[in-house]
Amino acid sequence: MISYNKLWKILIDKGITKTQLRISAGFNTSTLAKLNKNQIVSLKVIIKVCKYLQCDIGDIMEIDYE
C-alpha cells in the first residue's frame, strides 16, 4: 500500500546509495529492509530521511491504491 519508489529515484538522481542514506539519516539495516519491501516505517524515520534529503514527505513516498 505504501510505495517508496520516489525515494529510490531521488537517491539515483543525487548519486546516493541506500547505505549512505541509512548511515547519514541515522537508521538501522532492518528499517532499510522495510523501506525496500515497501513496508510501513515510523514517522520518525521518514522525517530523518526528509531532513537528510531536504525534501517533503510526499517527495519520497506515496500511497499505492492498486
pLDDT tens-digit profile of 13-65? Answer: 999 999 999 999 999 999 999 999 999 999 999 999 999 999 999 999 999 88
List, as own/partner pairs, every contact residues 7-10 make where C-beta atoms lie below 8 angstroms and the sequence separation is at least 24, other chains included: 7/35, 7/49, 7/60, 7/61, 10/53, 10/55, 10/59, 10/60
Say how far apart CA 56 and CA 19 lie, in whole Å: 21
Say how far apart CA 17 and CA 1 lie, in whole Å: 24
Q: pTM to 2 decimals?
A: 0.92
Say how far apart CA 38 and CA 45 lie, in whole Å: 14
